[in-house]
């Protein structure tokens, strides 16, 4: 009887779980998860400050502060979601469980865009810091863009053949990065910080309301670390405990470092200098403004090397994140399985790595001639990331309403009761805030509007054709087998 049994089409839902268990082993601890996330967040300070200053000007610390509050709300949402659903996929996984496959795909495809833009921005920011050693990398758009493209191509090949960074490298880089940033903050407060000057520069260079909101949206560039940590849930030991702990550590580190760096930067430079000469290497601008020659001579090359290294790791982490996300979406039949196909020799999802690296190169191409390419990339990142975060918040609320019986090892406090269901206030505020900012980005930023919408429409077409080919309903949610 057992030998004559033949699988039915619906039985294929068991295969991705077996494949996923084979490839993703639970070997990571809190330090490894935190360091991987901070590799993205910590690297973003090397360019987020300048990209926010491009539009927020004197209100840069205010924009970063407001974004920091939203960062807390979003991190808490991901902590509950990841502890409840410890699997790769992040917001895409939350949306698939909270709503259906179509919502899961939409969130995942938006997240894919933010990963791609993060790769492009990180690579685009490396040359200006290395410009300390060779000036054309800082001042020549052609040299900078060519170098950025070369970095992406190099890392694409590295990821295809499967040479990965280790947890030890991630942890070491995170420790060195935090130590350098904290040291710079302490030195900056001792030698540069002047509250009167900072207040004058904030008030005297206050932006329009639209630019302030855009600055808040651009500041969400630091949120990528949340998704990175959530993506690693399936590789973490006791993820229901360790991922939330790592996220709480991330909240503290991000708030302290971003607040300190932003205040020191406005003491060291005017908003105009921060938004022009030092927009792509603002931390180098702080080091160059130190009054003690010996400190400048030591910190300028140190920051150039450290920033280049951290940003290289962040670019590589973006490629690795894309491969994890594509693997998860493919296994759940949300994108063609071809995109998550593993190379027979290198055992890496080479097709997705190559394809999305090519998209990152296309995003970098305007760097040869466009004046506002840095700002445009930031707005495009905000388009994808805010849409993914909206789905994350909405999914947690939906799961609270539809599946209150699910175990929640980490549960957000401060709830209100709606229809006899506890709803977290921070998640509600996070959903409303991210939705409002996303709509404003959609209305005011033409580049991110058209490129972002084109990306989403193309994805939905791919999704529709693929699901029809597989004879799957567009909103079908498969039932996972019980453990």
| Model pLDDT for residues 358-410, shown as the tens digit of each residue | 999 999 999 998 778 888 998 999 899 999 999 999 999 999 999 988 888 88
Whether the Cβ atoms of residue 230 and residue 243 lie closer than 8 Å to each other: yes
SS3 state at 345: coil
| Model pLDDT for residues 257-275, shown as the tens digit of each residue | 888 888 899 999 999 998 8
pLDDT band (50, 70, 90) for residue 22: very low
The structure's pTM equals 0.84
Over residues 96-101, the mean pLDDT reads 92
Closest CA to 90 of 114, 124, 119: 114
Q: Can you say how many angstroms the Cα of residue 456 is from the centroid of all Cα atoms in its chain?
A: 18
| Model pLDDT for residues 301-340, shown as the tens digit of each residue | 988 988 888 888 888 878 877 877 887 888 888 988 887 7
B/e letters for 189-202, b = 16+ CB within 10 Å, e = fewer, are eeebbeeeebeebb
Q: CATH code for 14-407+414-469?
A: 1.20.1740.10
- Interior angle at CA 319, CA 314 and CA 321, nearest 5: 90
For the chain, the domains span: 14-407+414-469
Whether the Cβ atoms of residue 126 and residue 144 lie closer than 8 Å to each other: no
pLDDT cut 90: percent of the chain above it: 33
| pLDDT (0 to 100) of residue 428 | 96
Over residues 433-454, the mean pLDDT reads 92
| pLDDT (0 to 100) of residue 18 | 42
| pLDDT (0 to 100) of residue 214 | 87
**For residue 394, with 0-12 CB atoms within 10 Å meaning exposed, 13-18 middle and 19 or more buried, which class applies?**
buried
């Amino acid at each position: 009887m057992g030998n004559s049994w033949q699988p039915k089409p619906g039985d294929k839902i068991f295969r991705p779980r077996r494949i996923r268990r084979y490839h993703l082993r639970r070997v990571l601890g809190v330090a490894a998860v935190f360091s991987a996330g901070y590799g993205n967040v910590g690297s973003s300070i090397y360019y987020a400050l300048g990209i926010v200053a491009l539009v927020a000007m004197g209100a840069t610390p205010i924009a970063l502060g407001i974004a920091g509050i939203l960062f807390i709300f979003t991190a808490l949402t991901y902590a509950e979601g990841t502890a409840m659903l410890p699997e790769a996929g992040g917001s895409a996984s939350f949306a698939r469980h909270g709503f259906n496959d179509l919502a899961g795909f939409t969130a995942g495809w938006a997240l894919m865009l933010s990963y791609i833009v993060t790769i492009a921005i990180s690579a685009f920011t490396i040359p200006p810091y290395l410009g300390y050693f060779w000036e054309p990398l800082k001042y020549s758009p052609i040299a900078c863009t060519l170098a950025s493209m070369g970095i992406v191509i190099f890392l694409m090949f590295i990821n295809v053949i499967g040479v990965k960074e280790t947890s030890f490298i991630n942890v070491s880089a995170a420790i060195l990065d935090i130590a350098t940033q904290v040291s710079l903050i302490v030195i900056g407060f001792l030698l540069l910080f002047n509250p009167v000057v900072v207040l004058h520069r904030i008030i005297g260079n206050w932006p329009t309301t639209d630019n302030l909101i855009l600055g808040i949206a651009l500041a969400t560039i630091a949120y990528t670390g949340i998704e990175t940590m959530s993506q690693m849930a399936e590789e973490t030991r006791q993820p229901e405990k360790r991922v939330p702990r790592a996220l709480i550590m991330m909240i503290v580190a991000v708030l302290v470092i971003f607040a300190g760096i932003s205040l020191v930067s406005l003491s060291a430079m005017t908003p105009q200098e921060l938004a022009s000469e030092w927009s792509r290497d603002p931390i180098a601008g702080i080091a160059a403004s130190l009054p003690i020659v010996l400190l400048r001579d030591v910190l300028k090359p140190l920051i150039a090397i450290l920033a280049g290294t951290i940003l290289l790791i962040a670019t590589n982490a973006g490629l690795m994140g894309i491969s994890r996300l594509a693997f998860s979406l493919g296994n759940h039949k949300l994108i063609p399985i071809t995109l998550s196909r593993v190379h027979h020799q290198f055992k890496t999802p080479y097709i997705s790595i190559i394809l999305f690296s090519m998209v990152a190169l296309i995003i970098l191409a305007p760097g040869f001639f466009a004046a506002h390419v840095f700002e445009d990339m930031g707005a495009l990142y905000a388009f994808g990331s805010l849409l993914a975060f909206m789905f994350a918040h909405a999914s947690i609320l939906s799961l609270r309403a539809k599946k209150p019986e699910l175990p929640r090892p980490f549960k957000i406090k401060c709830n209100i009761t709606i229809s006899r269901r506890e709803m977290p206030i921070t998640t509600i505020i996070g959903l409303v805030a991210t939705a409002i900012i996303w709509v404003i980005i959609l209305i005011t930023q033409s580049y991110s509007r058209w490129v972002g919408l084109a990306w989403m429409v193309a994805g939905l077409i791919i999704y529709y054709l693929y699901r029809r080919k597989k004879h799957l309903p567009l909103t079908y949610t498969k039932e996972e087998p019980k453990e």
